[in-house]
Amino acid sequence: MSQGVLSPSGPAASGARACPRLARLTLHEFRNYPALTLDLPQEAPIVVLTGANGAGKTNLLEAISLLSPGRGLRQARLPELLRTGGEGPWRVAARLVSDAGERELGTGLQAESERRQVRIDRRNAQPAELAAVVAVLWLTPQMDRLFLESAGGRRRFLDRLAFLLDPEHARRVAGYERVLRERGRLLADAPASPADSAWLAALESQAAELGVAIAAGRLTAVEQLNTALAQAAEPDFPAALLAVEGTVEGWLASMPALAAEARLAEALALARPKDAATGGSLVGPHRSDLVVSDRRRAVPAARCSTGEQKALLLAIVLAEARLVAGLRGLPPLLLLDEVSAHLDQGRRAALCQRLLAHGGQVWLTGTEPALFDALKGRACALAIANGRARLEEWAV
Amino acid sequence: MFGTEIERLIQLLSRLPGLGPRSGRRAALALLKRKETLLLPLLEQLGRVAESIRSCRICGNLDSAETCAICRDPARENHSLCVVEDVADLWAIERSGAFKGRYHVLGGTLSALDGVGPDELSIGQLVARVKAGGVEEVILALNATVDGQTTAHYLSERLQGLGIGVSRLAHGVPIGGELDYLDDGTLATALKARRPAAG
């Protein structure tokens, strides 16, 4: 039946509050796991996964990330998650315990379709409803190049941060993207006729309303994050400073939202001929960028070293975790994949201290247990190999 | 497992909204087991409905007459016209008993991605009805989805300058609803659309 079952008598962190944490995780035909059940000790808020490359550490984190709306930390297509040679469909289930009691969450691919199925407390639910039960926040090695690559990745990162602070943000972004696709199709399909012009105006007015709300949501998130980052300035971590650069965000600094909506609708209408030629859309919050810098040295993140960039990202993610904990009263589940890569020993130790103070459940991965020495005796360590998990004896 | 005839029946039943392959099999089996009391009466009724039901030539509602019962009813108010996406929405509003005017069924919403344009919907007929006179207010009772709201924007524009009032349904706190349980979007919309308290 189940493999890798752990005894519930794990190492204890004294005085731990009952923040939302996974007490049980079950995987079925997921990535490299045919079947796995993990029973996690209640007392350990930090779970360390160690194992060789390709052992399946990140797959476990990915499974947990699918307990939130969206496509998880790898942004994979849902059918790709099925184990090679696996008898589908794949399933991920979890029991979440907190002060509020126990919740059962489950997700998987619907039989005979490519749609995601979500179950909350054994009833069918919409993926968006997961956000009300638990917040999940992650950092992966793919995000190491966030500051060097295109603005799209940084926008998605910022939108995810904004969504965790305001769940409506995701609905607005999805609606905005859909309206822009509709407008693009209309511009591509037909040369403008009077009827099409009214249709375009209807779409642009919708795009303007949603677009300005998105820009405002991002600005609010950045402001809240900057406050949280300033409060937590510690010598071992760089102090990140965030800003959003974008036309609509700029308008919002100098005019009320309604005026910005009118201006965006007008700009979209003016851009029709060019947008028809390029197949895109010249103006709007889908063109904005998240700009991060090291506050103390006033250096843009892209010009910091690889390790410093990682530390900046970590500082942002940890600040977000504190914000979500403050706003919703419950700290999010933190999934930190290969997080100690690029960090020096001092920063690793500082990170461990911060994670112990987080209060919510943290999942860490690394190839060597030695990377997490500072957590010895205070975390539950699992050795991952061949689709199985084994509780490590970790001396205090 | 089944003969091809049963297989075909299951396939057809599975295409009904709310039904999938499993419930299609159950429905097929229920019909076959209760041939006299269910299958044959259903067959007969389906035949009658297929023969007689058509879209109303005025509003698009479904009825056995060329002009539906609502459009024929002399007691209904001519001055207000409620625009809905689908007959299901018309039924929903009728169930409420709160509306005494006439209807106009659009037959969907604008969606460039699905190839549904103004010509695929009964928008021309709507404009013609308004121009024919007698209508003082058009109520846009469209869904609060992105496509529904885009269509509402479009219709407001098309109806502008015809000398009538155009209104939309309010979005907000449901009757018997507790604020604590309301989703953030609905609550924000309800706050935006607040009204002065009477008295």
Cβ distance B118 to A179 less than 8 Å, yes or no, reads: no
pLDDT tens digits for range B128-176? 999 999 999 999 999 988 899 999 999 999 999 999 999 999 888 888 8
Cβ distance A206 to B153 less than 8 Å, yes or no, reads: yes
Average pLDDT, chain A: 87
pLDDT tens digits for range A92-128? 999 999 877 899 999 998 776 778 999 999 889 988 8
Cβ distance A168 to B188 less than 8 Å, yes or no, reads: yes
H or E segment at A233? none
- Interface check A115 vs B, CB under 8 A: no
Predicted pLDDT at A26? 95
Which chain A residues are Cβ-neighbours of B189 within 8 angstroms?
A: none
How many angstroms separate the CA of residue B157 from the nearest CA in chain A?
A: 7
pLDDT tens digits for range A293-332? 999 889 999 999 988 999 999 999 999 999 999 887 778 9
Residue A169 exposed, middle or buried by CB count within 10 Å (0-12, 13-18, 19+): buried
Q: What is the ipTM of this complex?
A: 0.73
Residues 6+ apart with CB under 8 A from A131: A68, A69, A163, A164, A167, A170
How many angstroms separate the CA of residue A193 from the nearest CA in chain B?
A: 12
Residues 6+ apart with CB under 8 A from A11: A41, A43, A44, A377, A378, A379, A380, A394, A396
Among the listed residues A238, A366, A223, the one whose alpha carbon sits nearest the alpha carbon of residue A313:
A238
Strand residues in chain B grouped as ranges (E): 54-55, 62-63, 80-84, 102-105, 137-140, 165-168
Examine the pLDDT at A238 and tell me if it is beyond 80.
yes
Predicted pLDDT at A395? 38
Q: How confident is the model at residue A194 (pLDDT cuts 50, 70, 90)?
A: low
Q: How confident is the model at residue A195 (pLDDT cuts 50, 70, 90)?
A: low
A257 or A374, which is more confident?
A257
- Interface check A195 vs B, CB under 8 A: yes
Q: Describe the strand order of the beta sheet including A299-300 as a list of residue ranges.
A: A240-245, A289-294, A299-300
Nearest-CA residue of chain A relative to B182? A132
Examine the pLDDT at A7 and tell me if it is beyond 70.
no
Predicted pLDDT at A268? 96
- Spatial distance between the Cα atoms of A156 and A162, rounded to a whole number of angstroms: 10
Cβ distance B110 to A202 less than 8 Å, yes or no, reads: yes
pLDDT tens digits for range B63-106? 999 999 999 999 999 999 999 999 999 999 999 999 999 999 99
Tell me the CA distances in angstroms from B50 to A108, A196, B40, B69, B106, one per residue in order.
40, 36, 15, 18, 22
Which chain B residues are Cβ-neighbours of A168 within 8 angstroms?
A: 183-185, 188
Optimal mutation site among A205, A220, A272, A281, interface B, most CBs of chain B within 10 A = A205
How many angstroms separate the CA of residue A187 from the nearest CA in chain B?
A: 10
Predicted pLDDT at A100? 77
Predicted pLDDT at B190? 84
Average pLDDT of the segment spanning B39-52: 95
Which chain B residues are Cβ-neighbours of A178 within 8 angstroms?
A: 113, 146
Q: What is the pTM of this model?
A: 0.81
User: Could you give the domains of chain B?
Assistant: 4-52 (1.10.8), 55-168 (3.40.1360.10)
Any idea what DSSP says for residue B115?
T
Residues 153-182 of A with CB under 8 A from B: 166-168, 171, 175, 178-179, 181-182
Half-sphere exposure of A197 (CA within 13 A, CB side): 7
Using a pLDDT cut of 70, give the percent of chain A over it.
Answer: 92
Cβ distance B113 to A182 less than 8 Å, yes or no, reads: yes
Which chain B residues are Cβ-neighbours of A181 within 8 angstroms?
A: 112-113
Examine the pLDDT at A13 and tell me if it is beyond 80.
no
Cβ distance A198 to B154 less than 8 Å, yes or no, reads: yes
Q: Which of A179, A181, A195 sits opposite B150 (nearest CB)?
A: A179
Examine the pLDDT at A5 and tell me if it is beyond 60.
no
Which of A7-11, A25-29, A70-74, A75-79 is least confident? A7-11
Q: Which of A185, A189, A198 sits opposite B157 (nearest CB)?
A: A198
- Spatial distance between the Cα atoms of B158 and B138, rounded to a whole number of angstroms: 12
pLDDT tens digits for range A207-218? 999 999 999 999
Q: How confident is the model at residue A393 (pLDDT cuts 50, 70, 90)?
A: low
Are the C-beta atoms of A170 and A128 separated by less than 8 Å? yes
Average pLDDT of the segment spanning A282-294: 95
- Interface check B109 vs A, CB under 8 A: no
Q: Is A386 left (phi over 0), alpha (psi -120 to 50) or beta?
A: left
Cβ distance B188 to A203 less than 8 Å, yes or no, reads: no
Nearest-CA residue of chain A relative to B21? A112
Residues 6+ apart with CB under 8 A from A371: A340, A348
Examine the pLDDT at A11 and tell me if it is beyond 50.
no
Predicted pLDDT at A193? 63
Average pLDDT, chain B: 91
pLDDT tens digits for range A141-190? 999 999 999 999 999 999 999 999 988 898 899 999 999 999 999 998 86
Among the listed residues A287, A166, A156, the one whose alpha carbon sits nearest the alpha carbon of residue A223:
A166
A210 φ, ψ to 5°? -70, -40
Which of A358-372, B24-38, B175-189 is least confident? B175-189
Average pLDDT of the segment spanning A38-61: 89
Q: How confident is the model at residue A191 (pLDDT cuts 50, 70, 90)?
A: low
A129 or A59, which is more confident?
A59
- Spatial distance between the Cα atoms of B76 and B70, rounded to a whole number of angstroms: 7
- Interface check A393 vs B, CB under 8 A: no
How many angstroms separate the CA of residue B41 from the nearest CA in chain A?
A: 32
Average pLDDT of the segment spanning B4-14: 91
Q: Which of B146, B185, B188 sits opposite A206 (nearest CB)?
A: B146
Cβ distance A185 to B113 less than 8 Å, yes or no, reads: yes
H or E segment at A39? strand A33-39
